[in-house]
């Protein structure tokens, strides 16, 4: 991993955990650390796309083992992270990362492109592309459903009989 200039699974898990936690400062600090270690930002983006692909496979397949090259501990971690996302969120994230990779070829700073994308992944309200908007709509729908379930589960207030007329 070191010789190839790869970030490695531990960094991908840490970066994904920061995204799950919506912890932009931690994610940006990790990117800064990787940049200081001379990690190529385009390669990091490619690795993160591959990681989110694994999350997608774990969400959609009964046994993704044939398509995901990882040890038992890594599989358990991928499964844990996959549960933290909706499939819509994973697909939107892959789309944003692929757009980032494309933008890097025309950008004067790959690091800035990567930082902006990870910031959008940590703070979905900043993203304005269609998949991200769909992701936000899905989150709103889930919130409305939870509120409706809570409202229907709580007992109705008892009605007080009208006071007797004198």
pLDDT tens per residue across span 146-166: 888 888 887 655 656 666 676
Name the pTM for this structure. Answer: 0.73
**Mean of the per-residue pLDDT values for the chain?**
84
pLDDT confidence bin for 3, thresholds 50/70/90: very low
Asked whether the CA dihedral 51, 63, 66, 76 is positive or negative, the reply is positive
Is residue 133 within 8 Å of 96, Cβ to Cβ? no
Q: How many other CB atoms are found less than 10 A from the CB of residue 41?
A: 23
Among 19, 55, 51, residue whose Cα is nearest residue 30:
19
- Among 19-33, 73-87, 125-139, which is the least confidently predicted range? 125-139
């Amino acid at each position: 991993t070191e010789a190839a200039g790869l970030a490695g699974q531990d960094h991908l898990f840490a970066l994904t955990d920061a995204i799950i936690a919506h912890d932009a400062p931690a994610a940006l600090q990790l990117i800064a650390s990787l940049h200081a270690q001379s990690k190529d930002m385009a390669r990091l983006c490619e690795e993160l796309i591959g990681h989110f692909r694994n999350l997608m496979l774990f969400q959609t397949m009964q046994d993704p083992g044939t398509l995901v090259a990882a040890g038992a501990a890594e599989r358990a971690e991928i499964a844990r992270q996959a549960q933290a996302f909706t499939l819509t969120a994973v697909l939107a994230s892959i789309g944003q990362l692929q757009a980032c990779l494309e933008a890097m070829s025309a950008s004067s700073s790959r690091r800035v492109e990567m930082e902006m994308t990870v910031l959008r992944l940590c703070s979905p309200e900043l993203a304005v592309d269609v998949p991200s908007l769909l992701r936000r709509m899905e989150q709103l729908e889930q919130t409305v459903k939870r509120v409706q379930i809570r409202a229907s589960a709580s007992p109705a207030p008892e009605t007080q009989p009208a006071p007797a007329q004198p």
